[in-house]
Structure formats: C-alpha cells, structure tokens
Structure 1
Amino acid sequence: MKRKPILLLAAALAFTSVQSNDLLAQQREKDKYGKRSDDPVAKLGYEKKLRWADGLFKDGSFFNAEEYYKQLQMEQPRNPYLAYQIAESEWRMRDYGNAAASYGYAYDLAKAIYPEAKFKQAMMLKMYGSYPEAIVAFEQFKKDNPKPTKEIKLLIKQTETEIKGCHLGMKSIANPEAATVAKLGPNINSANTELSPFPLGDSALLFATMNSNVVIDKVKEKRSDYVSRFMVSQKNKFTDVKDTFTWALPFLDGRFNDPKYHVGNGYLAEGGDRFYFTKCLDQKGDTGSLCRIFVSEFKNDRWGNPEELGNGINENGSSSTHPCIVKIGKKEILFFTSDRKLQSRGGFDIWYSVYDARLKSYRRPQNVGKQINTKGDEATPYFDNRTNKLYFSSNGWETMGGYDVFEATMAGNSPSRYTSMKNMGYPVNTSADDLYFILDGYGKPDGYVVSNRVGSIALKNPTCCDDIFRVQFEPKLKAIGKVINAKTQKPVDEVVVKMTDENGTLTTFNSTDGNFEFNTPRGHSYTFTGDKAKFTSSHANVNTEGVKRIDADNTVEIVVYMNEIDLSWFRMDNVFYDDNKYTLRPESTTDLEKLVSLMRDNPSLSVKIASHTDSRGSDASNKVLSQNRAQSVVDYLVNKGGIERSRLEAEGYGESTPAAPNEKDGKPDPVGQQLNRRTEFKIINEDPAKRLIFDSAKPGTIGSQEKNLQVDNENVPEEVEEKSSLSKPGSRVNR
C-alpha cells in the first residue's frame, strides 16, 4: 500500500519554522473514508499500522499520524511510546492543552524512558497560558532529575529561562501595555494561515495566504491550487469602523505568485522601485521548507522578472527568508533570516547585507550578533528608521509563550549593535506564537502582528493557525503619587494603594515607602485610596474618559491622605432636621456625603451614629426622637450612599448626654440647646478580614512594568550555548 503524498506545510511554517500544518488537507484525507471501516489503514495489524503512523509523522502528516496513534492506543492504552507520539503530534499541531495532558500521561507511564516529557508538558502549559501550572511542572522536572544526562542537563538550564518567561507573562497580563489588538475580519483571515502583512500606504494591505476556507485534496488538486500566494485588500472607505478591509483579491502586480512555490514575505523598498519576497519549496519530511529571497525591479512602467539574490544571501543547503530593506543613514540595509550554520548562534538568525545602489550588489552578509540572536530562533525582522528600532520575533529570549515580539534600538547606524531591548509585552505578545510585527508607514503608526492566539479562525484546535491582527496603540496614561499622613505630612510606609474603576475593578500596589504608580487606560474613572491597619484613608480621583486615542502620553500626579484611626466622637455640624421631626433637611447632604465617602474609602470600618436633643420635651419623647433621627442618617447612608447596613449602628441618646448646659441663670439657653441638638458618629469596629494587608514579598516598584519587559542584551557571552536535541518534538519517533 502506497502512502498518500499528503503535503503538510502551512504558510507560516514555510517562512519561519513555526510548527503548523495544513489541517484542511489532512482532514480531507481523513474524511475521504467517512467511517473507519472504509479506511484500509484501520484494518492493518498493530505493527504495520504503527509503521504507517510513524511514517506519517516523519512526513509531517501530524493530523493523520495522531489519528492512527490513537487507534493503536485503544489496543494498548498504557503504551508510553503511543502516548508520547500523540503528544508530539499535538505539539506540532500547536494543540497546547491536549499536548500538555498527553505529555503528562506519557511521563506517568514511563518517566525513566521519557524524562523530557515533564519538560515538554511544562512548555505546553506555558504556551496554553497556564503559567502557575507550568512553573510547578518545570520545578518538578528539575527535582525529578538529580543526576541528569547531558541532554537533560541542557533542558534543566533552559528551564530557568522558561520559568522567568512564565513570570513575565503573568506580570505583563496584569499590567498590559497601552494597546488594543483585534483580529482582522474574514475578508483577510481564513481557516488556514495568513502571514507577512505589509501596509501599502494607508489604503491597502498586502499579505500572503494559503487557499481560504475550502477543503484541499492535495492528492487530486494541482499544486497551484494550494500553495501560498500574495493577496491584497483595500481599506473599506464606506464604513465608520476603523481598519476594516474589503474582500482580498490576488496580487497581480509583477506576477509574483508562482504555481510551483509558496510565496510570501513581501517587502517594498522605500523608493518603490524594488520588491523583495520569498519563494519556498517543500522539503520531504517534518514541516521544513527551503526558502530563497528574490527581488524584482520596476522599470519602464512594469515589474521585471524576479531574480534570486546571490552574493551569499541565498546559500545552498540553508534557507533565507524574511527580507526587510531599509535606508539607515546613507546606506541601504537588507535584513533577513537564515538557518545557515557558519557564524550562526542557533537555529534561524537575523543577518544583514549592505546594498550598493550604484553597483546594484550586496555585500557579504553579517550576523547581527549576540545582542539579538540566540541559540533559539529569530524571525521576521522589521526596521523602523523613524525611531532607529529593530523589531523581531524570538523564542530564544525570555518569552511569554513561544515566539514573542521584541524591539531594540540600533546604536548609531551600526546594524550589529543594539541597546534598550525590550519584550513588547501583552497584548502584542501572548502565550502563543506572535510574529511579523510591522508598523504603518505614515502618521502616528499603528501596526500588525501575526498570531495563533486564541481568537484566530481555528480548524482542529483554537491555536492551530495564524491570523493577522491589527495593533492599535493607545496613549500611555499613568497616575503616580504618594500616600501622606495628614497629621505629620510624612509618607505612610508599608501601605496597600488601591485603584478602582467605575466598574469596581480593583488593582493594587504594595508600597514600601508611600510612593505608587498605576497605568490608567483611557475611557475610565479611577478612585485611589490607601489601606493600612489602624488608618483611615481619603481618596483621589483621575478621569480618562475624555482622552482620545490620538492624544499624547500623559502622567498625572496625585496625593492620598491617611489618618490614624481616632475612636472619638465626630460632630456633624451641618445635619439638620425640622423642629421636633426626624426627616433630614436638604442642606444636610454635604456632611452626609462626607461620611459616605469615608465609608466607601474604608470598607473595613463600622461606625455608630448617635443623635442628641436638648431638654425641651419629655425624656421619653426625646429618646424616641433622637433614635429616629439617628436611624434617618443610617437610612441615608444605606439607600443613597450604598453602604452595607451591617456596618452601621444607630442610637438615640435623647437629652441624657448634653454637650453644654441647656439653661443659664435658671432660664433656657438657646446657645447651649443648639450645641446639644447634634448628630455624631464614631468608629466602633475595624474588620481585619476586609483589609488588604501589605505583602512584603511582593513590593510594588515604580517603573516595574518597564523593568519587567526590559531585556539585558549587554552581558551575553560570546560562545554559543548548546541546545538539547530533546527540546523540540520529533526526536523520539521510531527510525
């Protein structure tokens, strides 16, 4: 029986090395039989079916391989090889949640045979976004290998980087960058893979895609029907919704699409006279492909025939891809990625070549160096010469998941020296793969990113396939301030500062010295208070509801005042009632709202409301009157202020506790009587369970968000670190 020649290349893989598959084609191969009884492979004996499944895996047909491994697992449910290969297939399909479970099962069955399965389970948990569980799994992997082999020792070293990436992810999601990321609609994205967005001015988007939402039978259909090709979509001018696009059409300029090759990674030189792009040809086995960079020149009102770049940019036996041509100073620099071995620091590295416009030639490529490249893979370089920044994706630095987008500032005009490197953080980056970041060429730039994050149009699993997302940057709005003791005018230390928006969403900052900092995204109203035992807090407000997306960055300085709790009675001078009545008069609102504010700002406190009368009338009637008046204040606090009734207590004292004599020289004293007609409150209880306690283990730091995303690329050793052969799927399949 001859194995079907199923092609398993997704467009993203063709140009990056991300493991993804053309699941539509594999699903079509599976659906051909409809029922298992019609599938000739299903009828094979165990050994033959296992060889078949292994052959599919080695050919890159992971979807189908998984199906047959699972059939075999029904016969031998505790076979660790089958469990492991199912996990390997699921990782290749970027089915992170199921892969984590399958690796865990394989490890439980045979940890001595597959010690790396715990590491891979942790990796899948990380890429699934389950950071706490991933950290536990990474730590367990280290604990379970006290005497590691060389390959396991390399994984243990990598574990430290992955754990740091988990913490980076949790912190970045808790404090996102000032940006929104939204998937472009179905006019651009399909059920298969999209990649390499390139904005054509402000009116259109060039990108590459495989065939859209159709089932591809690669046994019957021509290659030209499924290879990736360039498409272009115009921005929709007939809608008020920003960044919506019309139905994408084939990009016919220059006839760059080729029925024999996957094409993508288009990049137009600044003068518009040269178009660079990549052609890739599938290689047998795995999911790799051999890629070459081509260029076409615009002459005599037309694009010339694409020519393959020489001068070492394209090398035999290796791939060259992701061209980015940009003018830096007086030079034109071609950035690209390649997996060539000589002078490489790892898998795919970023390289550059200087273009001589007069001679129309390229100098020998140079590696951009250790400040950018790692033992892992770097991909999709983009250089913005307006800010002198290089943007690229990497899975070798500390990342939130797989590939993250990074930025680094070029030192002077040297393509091999970079400073101020940082991870771009959430929401540009996620726990999945994030690549192909590029900015608009005009105006205050927004950008695009390609990702298989949850929310992409999915086939077999939510993170199988790459879509193009729009990145819209927001103004960076911050509130920085101090918590001050109102009496001493000194900072309050070891205090929890709370920021609450109009929806009740709470964000906290553990301040060791009274200083604090919060991001305050636009469109909200924020209230800031402090929380510390035996203290009450006032509040400060910041409103960003009127801020527009085009507005400049802004930082607001605020002060939150706190007082040590005083258990004395506080007189409310401006709470009034009509004579001999307990209905609150309208002018009482000001003082009552101050009490409401105190109760809202300090939810751990309970207070007692006391009302007093003068000596006119009988003791009994004054007692009832004062009780009703105190209750009127409680009702106001509950009904108008929204304070929990359980935190309030009302008591009327009548004339029993005068503040001043009611009579003077045997006659009624109006001044004394007025002082006695009063409403007071006092703090009677502090509920520790409602306090937020300062956590010395998690102190807040001014600028912590920026520090969390910064990358130390200055102290990188010259020697290239070795990478374990067990770190990626595919190393254990039967040969």
Structure 2
Amino acid sequence: NETVFVFTAGNKNVFSSEIDLNIINADYKMDNICFSKKTEGKWTEPKNITRQLGAKSRVVPVTISADGTELYLVRDDNDNGNIYISHYKNDRWTKMEPLNKNINTKNWESHATITVDGKTLYFTSDRKGGFGGLDIYRSDRDEKGDWGPAVNLGSTINTKYDEETPTILNDSKTMYFSSQGHYCMGGFDAFYTTLLANNTWSAPLNVGYPINTVGNDLFYIPKANGEYAFFPLNNNEREIATNNEEGIAIINEGKIGTNNIYKIIVSIPEGHETEILLKGNIILQDQKNELPHDFIISVIDSIKGDTVNKCKPNYLLSNYLTQIKSGSFKIEYKCNGYLTHYEQLYIPNIYTRTEVNIDVEMLPLEVSKGEYYVIRSIFFDYAKYDLKKESETELQRLADLMQKNPSLYVEIVGHTDALGSVQLNQKLSENRSKAAIDYLVSQGIDQSHFVSKGMGKTHFIAINKNPDGSDNPEGRQLNRRVEIKILNSTADNIIVEEIKVPENLLYSRAGRLRPNDKYTILLIKQKEKSVSTDDVSRLINLTTKLKSNELFASVTGSPVSEAKVNDMLMFTAGEFTNKSDAMKILNIVVDENFPDATIESMSGIGKIKHEIGNDYKQHENDNVDVSLDKTLYTIQISALTKPADLSVFKNLKGVKENLCQDGFYRYTYGKFEGINSAKQEKQHLIELGYTNTFIVKTDNFYSKVESVGEFTIQLESLAEPVNLSHFKNL
C-alpha cells in the first residue's frame, strides 16, 4: 500500500548509470538496510534493520509485498546470487531465509518482484536454458505457499544480453524492466510491457529520455498505474524540470537518508496526442539483400480484429515506417517465401515518446523444413576455453552439417578480449579454437577438414573500454569468441550468421571514441543530382525549427551543415558533446520528416566520407578502358599476424607469402595483366570459398622487409586532425 520503504544506505552514493554489474563496489559491504514507514503523509526516521534480518556480506532489498509484510532480498553467496525472504511480525523483521530450489540455483539470481495478490513472483536468473545472460522468469505460488517451477518469459522479453530489475504493477499485467538487448540508447534502458488477454507479452516499449540515457539505467520502480515512479537519478546526465515537455516532473521524496531517491511524476502534456511512429529493420535470415516486393506490414486491432493500417517497407534498405495511435495491436509481417511473423504491441494513453522501434527477423520457409543450416559463433567466459552447453549445441549443428556434406572445410578462429598479456591471450585463443575442433572431431569429423587459428587480442568486434577509460565487460564478452567460417562452399542453404554488436559497443580502429569526439545527426547522404526540391524544402523547415531550440542558442551559423564529397552530398544537424543531447534533437528531426536520420560520431562521419571517396575511385577505375590496362595485379587471399602453412589454402597452388612493412603476412595468388583478367580469376576464387579476396597491384608487395633506407613510425591514422598534445611524452 506504499506506506513502507526499504532501501540501502552506504558511505558512497553510486548512481545507476555508473553501475558496472561485473565489478564489486568496495563500499558495498558497508551498506545498511534501512526501513521507514509513512505516517500522516511523512516518512519516519529510517531504522537500520540489518541485524534483524541477519544480513551478512552483500545483501540488497529488491521487492516488498503489497501489504508490506514480506520483504524479498538478494544475497551474494560466494558469487552465487540467491533470493531470500523476511516477514514483518510484531514490529520486527524475521531472519531472512532462502527461497526454494525452483527459484535459487547454482547460477545467479539477481532481482525479484511480486504481484499484488502475492501469487506470482517474477525474477531474473542466468541459469542454463535461457536466451543468454540474465533472463526474466516467473513462478506461481501453490496452495501450500511454495514456489513452483520457473518459466522463462520467452524471446519477446528476453534477449541474448541481460534483462534486469523487473517491477510488476498493481494491475499484475504491466511490467517495467531494464535491458541491454532491446532498442537502447546505450547500456541498460528501462522498458515496459503488458501481459495481454492471450497470455502473451506485448513488444517492450522504451521509456525514453530523460529516464533513459546512454549509461546504465536500472532500478526504475513505477507505482499506481505508472503515473509516478521512484528512481535514483544521475543529475549529470539528465535535465528534468517540473512540467517539462516530456511530461515528467520530479520531487525529492523527503530526502530519505543521505541518498537522493526521487519520486517522478509522469503526466500527459497539455495538448498531447498519442500518435506514434512505428518503425524498425527487417532482417532476412537467409541474408538476401532485398526484401520481396509483396512484403506487407499490417497493424491489426487486437480487440476488434480490424486492420487499422497497412504499409510497405523500403525494399532496398530493409526498413519500414508507419503511424499508429494508442491501443492494443497485433503487427503482421507477411511475404511469399517466409514464415509470417507477428508482434504484439500495446501503446498506453500516457506514452510520451514519439516512436516505437520493432526489429524483426523473417525465417525462410526452407529453414522451417530443416533445409537450411545456420552457423553461429560461440562465446567463452573470461580466461577460459572450456565449452559452454549452448556452445556444444552450436557445434553439434555444425558437425551434423559436415557429416551430410563431407567435402566441406571449416576455419575455426579463436579470439580473446584485451585483458592480459599478448602471449597469454595468443595461447588462450589457440586453445579456444582447439577446444571447438576437438569437440567436432569427437563427433566423427576428420581432423584434416579444419583450419585452426588463434588471433589473440588483435581482432576485436566490440570495445573493451568505455570512452572514459573504464572497463566495459559487455564488450569484452563479445570479443571472447570462436568464429566459424566455411572455406569452400557455394551452397545457398548454409548461412554463417554474423555476430550482432550493439551500436554503443561497436569497435573502431582506435578501439573507442576519442575523448574529444562529438556527435552529429546524419540527415541525408545521396548523390548531388538526386537531391530533390522536396529534400531542400524539408531541410529549410528543419533549419527554422532547430534555430529556436535551446541547444542551438549559442550557434551563430546554420544548425544544418552541408558537405560535398566527390559526387555525393551529406547534410548533418548540430554537433553535440553528449549523446543524450543528440537523442533530443533526433526526435525533432524524425518529426520533421527525416525518418532515416541517424546519430553518428564525428569520427564516424569522417569514416563515411573516406568510404565515399574510395567508392568513387573504384567507380572511376571500373570505367577505365581495360584494353589499354597493362598494369600487373595479384589477388590477396588473407592477411595474418603470424605466418601460416601454405597447405591451409585448399585447392590452390602457387600461393605466395609476403611479409610486408607493417608486419603482416599477406597471402596472394597469381599475377595478372590488366584488371579484367584479375576480376575473372577473383570470381573463380570466390566460387572456391575464398569470399574475402580483393585485387591489388603487385607493386604493393615485397618479398622481404627492406633493410636499407629512411624509415618513420606511424603512430595513428585518423579521419580528422588532432591536437599534437594528444601524443603524450613525444
């Protein structure tokens, strides 16, 4: 009944956006568990109940029953999180006791929430059999008061990343939770979902800015019907004022203890109409480049069964955009050759965001019949090379494929994160590759069908550190992997699935954003001759709109910039130090009819310009009269940091090893006069399974490192100039 408040109070206040779930806070053991009651509208002086609970080591309260008599806590039992319960009797809390084995496992249980009737517990766990990381489960209480078997909430809610801090509202069907895996601004974002009449969960909706930022946003605890919530705010990242345009106001709820716990009031702004842009990306699992032209997206009223809207996607860009209002909907994605896909969506009247993003994957009909094989990479725990259960499942799928296709050759490439020495990581990556191959050999596959490589800490796909230099465990987890590559197959029914890295974790050449990097919004990128009068009109309207925005108050010129690169034009809006500011402007930009606008770092814009320049040069080269081209070319097959046995290049004779000046061993094939003959041979190599080949001039290669001459050492290659003070001690 919201008259009881239990919270932790320690010597150090850590905001949720600063929290790293994989790092133990040194002050954590000193936190006390405090209890306060609301009497005549005011909170009583908090009482330390740590001893009453018998709490030792690290314990945190996570939820409380509606009548305030059952307190649920999570305790770290030697790196094994478990959920406990304490009862309020005779004005005291009883000693905490663990819940049964249906709830607690040898894995990590980190959070819980209970329905108002006390009959259903939702909790998070990283137990085996989930979708990856922490998943949300439910358990129902039987007549004896015992908790029943845990049931995973499914793929609509849970992703391969972490879902955390669920909270169920008093209606027992609206749930808020934080996630890394859904459409996020960065880190953990708060989402909410609704349990529908057909006992399925609606697609999660991002709560949006200013509650969500580019940091980790956890512990959002809504009350009543979601009209207000309690939340620890990081004021450095948010600017929230009473009656602001987002419809959110905050009140410091009595200054409980020394930590700032805020009560956030969510209201509908005056004149607000719930018209939402529904958009997203459509991914074809067979990796075809263009959507079928009969693709149609239908928005169906879940209650009446009426189709309220239909739209067609952009077939080339594989995305879609339509408009919806508040209500309960079933979204149908349908086309020939693929299984029809459905998403459940609930938009409440109080929803203050302007858009909803739902990405979908379309499964080919052949896949559902077992005629396609999807090969995925596998992942490892830190400093380990033993296979997880889910990794063995993926490798068994590969073994089945190789048994049915005995001519296949497979490359197994091990990788590590950035922690540890070069030597240890090199050995670790080799052991990871070997562990995968050993499993496949144990399933009857001949050892000669594998090429094993260990890349050590050299080929990252995700960042290992945040821009401020702090550790990023989520990025490092993605780097600890074994990649599987099919070397010599042209079969269309074998799909090697790429690892999907969230935008905020993507690795760049520098490994992270430069400390002084900024953000902008890319509005348009297209050929100069294709820019229409409608494009110009939209840009003019947007410029007028942005000039009146407070974020552009100090900008003397136009808020919209134009850049010409060869025959292409790029239009961008603004330059922002904080990504959260860019998110605010992106909402305005989309409303002004730029639905495909994206937030890019300034270094990313430089990279885009560089790629445009390369494409332009390639186009010019393609238009050269090949009959006059006497240049000698070769085809590069691979570039490695360590020399390889030439026998790994199956079906090829005459492969040449080139030790280049940058220390890489580059492997090339053949020598061809003229670009045309080189292209023909390149196509032949692709058919043999060497899909990453490209053509280079033979002048680019040397058989050995030169030992005579003048040399310099290149430190860094950047898309933009940098102050020379960037290079410390040089």
TM-score normalised by the chain length of structure 2 = 0.33
Q: Which has the higher contact order (CA 8 A, sep 6+)?
A: 1
Larger Rg: 1
Identify, as 1 or 2, the structure richer in helix. Answer: 1
